[in-house]
Amino acid sequence: MNMSDIIGKKRNGETLSQEEIDYVVAGYTEGSIPDYQMSAWLMAVYFQKMNREETFHLTRAMKHSGDVIDLSGIDGVKVDKHSTGGVGDKTTLIVAPLAAACGVPIAKMSGRGLGFTGGTVDKMEAIPGFQTAVEADRFIEQVNTIGLSVIGQTAHIAPADKKIYALRDVTATVDNMSLISSSIMSKKLASGSDAIVLDVKCGDGAFMENLEDASILGQMMVDIGNGDKKKTIAVITDMNQPLGQAVGNSLEVIEAIETLKGCGPADIQELSLILAGIMIYAGGKASNREEGYEMAKAALDSGAALEKLRQFVEAQGGNAAVIEDYSLFPQHTCQRELRSSQDGFVGKIAAKAIGLASQHAGAGRATKEDTIDLSAGIYLHKKVGDSVCSGDILAVIYGSDEEKVEKSAQEAEKAFVITPEKPKPELLIKKII
Ligand code: URA
């Protein structure tokens, strides 16, 4: 087989065989195919697209490029959850304890973030002492003991995807349905859970800006998961404004704790209960999604999910006193208030602009090498549809660097649109596949 022929075949819009896709993935991962050929192949895929079979083959090849985790030492149906990424999305920290409190074993691997804020692993590290690098034996033992563990994804999970994704990032080839779905699903399938719940974000702060594209992506990932005999359900959810009020690592963990105390923002609480309900159903603990939702609500109301979070934090070496005392989180040293200059209603809060402003305050990384300021971020005092008077606080920007916080505030200001009329509310849940 020859890489140049395979590039030409894809460039001409032909279908690649499983052997050809295996050859590309294996060759690039081991280094016999150079970046320039892989870049040309990715661009050919970008323009000519891949069909369903090719996408399945690509996912399979990337899944098997590294370890496939064996979770058979954990009793019960293990359920994983993945979000395609949004601004202020801290739902893993809420749904994992909710589902675990209802008897669903959660043995989850999460990543670090590149972009708006950290990933779930970065957020958890805002809790003093919390360990995300946990040995496989301890990971399994913890799930068998308390029903829940979330750890950092190792470099041995789908290494082909890691290498290919880094190349896509710098060759303008991220934005392709087959490449996105195979990238996400190769890691999920290698992580070993029996069922997968996908939160596919849709809107201005997401990869997929409209419902049609989000539905195609969701359906493709569901087909890949079910094709690998994992029960897979996708929920298309709104990302036209940040989720909840907190954007930034410590701020988001505090909001997750508040939600588990029953005091979280309405959108975060509702989305978390819906996702947890679906996880409880996928894990076989409820006969349908509605029953799962009621079980999750009961675990929230009784405090069982908050207690599960406490056990989880302690089991991974974290200081669980943060649950009562938020001053134990990394503290900001400067802040800047953003105030409305007019009366009216919040008509729009551009999610992407808030995400970037939060990143620039120090909450996210622009490159892998950047360090995150765990105290940095943005707290929204108003959400879309709220009424505002001139002088009201719209948001507060936090951080540890005056200059960054000032720049972030200028960017965040542009994200708010004040309108004379109250806008029509967006549906939080757009579709379940
Ligand atoms: N997240 C991933 O893991 N891969 C993609 O291609 C896009 C988002």
Predicted pLDDT of residue 107:
92
Predicted pLDDT of residue 117:
66
- Maximum C-alpha span of the chain: 68
Q: Is residue 177 part of a domain?
A: yes
Same structural domain, 33 and 138: no
The residue whose CB lies within 8 Å of the most ligand 1 atoms, and thus the one to mutate among 109, 183, 185, 217, is 183
Cα 315 to middle of ligand 1, angstroms? 30
Same structural domain, 177 and 283: yes
Query: What tokens were used for 231?
Result: 């029960």
SS3 409: helix
Predicted pLDDT of residue 175:
86
How many CA atoms lie less than 13 Å away from 315 in the CB half-sphere?
Answer: 21
Query: Could you tell me the CATH number of the domain that includes residue 110?
Result: 3.40.1030.10
The residue whose CB lies within 8 Å of the most ligand 1 atoms, and thus the one to mutate among 120, 177, 180, is 180
The residue whose CB lies within 8 Å of the most ligand 1 atoms, and thus the one to mutate among 165, 174, 181, is 165
Cα 238 to middle of ligand 1, angstroms? 18
Cα 182 to middle of ligand 1, angstroms? 8
Q: Atom 5, ligand 1: which residue's CA is nearest? A: 180
183 Cβ closer than 6 Å to some ligand 1 atom: yes
Query: Could you tell me the CATH number of the domain that includes residue 371?
Result: 3.90.1170.30
Q: Atom 3, ligand 1: which residue's CA is nearest? A: 184
Predicted pLDDT of residue 174:
86
Sequence-ordered strand ranges (E) for 204-277: 231-238, 246-247
Q: Atom 2, ligand 1: which residue's CA is nearest? A: 184
Same structural domain, 167 and 263: yes
Distance CA 278, CA 60 (A): 26
Cα 183 to middle of ligand 1, angstroms? 5
Cα 12 to middle of ligand 1, angstroms? 26
Same structural domain, 265 and 301: yes
165 Cβ closer than 6 Å to some ligand 1 atom: yes
Same structural domain, 318 and 408: no
Q: Atom 1, ligand 1: which residue's CA is nearest? A: 184
Query: Could you tell me the CATH number of the domain that includes residue 25?
Result: 1.20.970.10
Structural domains in the chain (count): 3
Q: Kindly give, in sequence order, each residue whose CB lies less than 8 Å from that of residue 16, ignoring residues fewer than 6 positions away.
A: 6, 9, 10, 24, 50, 54, 57
Q: Which atom of ligand 1 is nearest to the CA of 187?
A: 3
Cα 314 to middle of ligand 1, angstroms? 31
Q: Kindly give, in sequence order, each residue whose CB lies less than 8 Å from that of residue 64, ignoring residues fewer than 6 positions away.
A: 190
Residue after which a domain boundary falls, among 323, 347, 363:
323
The residue whose CB lies within 8 Å of the most ligand 1 atoms, and thus the one to mutate among 59, 80, 84, is 84
Q: Is residue 162 part of a domain?
A: yes
167 Cβ closer than 6 Å to some ligand 1 atom: no
| Domain limits for position 200 | 79-323
Same structural domain, 30 and 127: no
174 Cβ closer than 6 Å to some ligand 1 atom: yes
Residue after which a domain boundary falls, among 296, 323, 350:
323
Give pTM, 2 decimals: 0.93
Q: Is residue 151 part of a domain?
A: yes
**Which residue shows structure tokens 């036209």?**
240
Closest CA to 352 of 173, 88, 171: 88
Q: Which atom of ligand 1 is nearest to the CA of 165?
A: 6
Cα 196 to middle of ligand 1, angstroms? 16
Q: Is residue 58 part of a domain?
A: no
Distance CA 298, CA 344 (A): 38
Predicted pLDDT of residue 327:
96
Query: pLDDT tens, 107-164?
Result: 998 877 666 666 888 899 999 999 998 888 899 999 999 999 999 888 789 999 989 9
Same structural domain, 350 and 313: no
Same structural domain, 312 and 369: no
Residue after which a domain boundary falls, among 264, 291, 323:
323
Yes or no: say if 106 and 79 are a contact pair by the CB < 8 Å rule.
Answer: yes
Weakly modelled stretches of the chain, pLDDT under 70: 113-118
Same structural domain, 130 and 175: yes
Catalytic positions: 82, 161, 168, 183, 187
Q: Is residue 255 part of a domain?
A: yes
| Run of H or E residues at 398 | strand 393-399
Q: Which atom of ligand 1 is nearest to the CA of 111?
A: 3
Distance CA 253, CA 312 (A): 14
Angle between helices 177-190 and 35-48 (to 10 degrees): 110
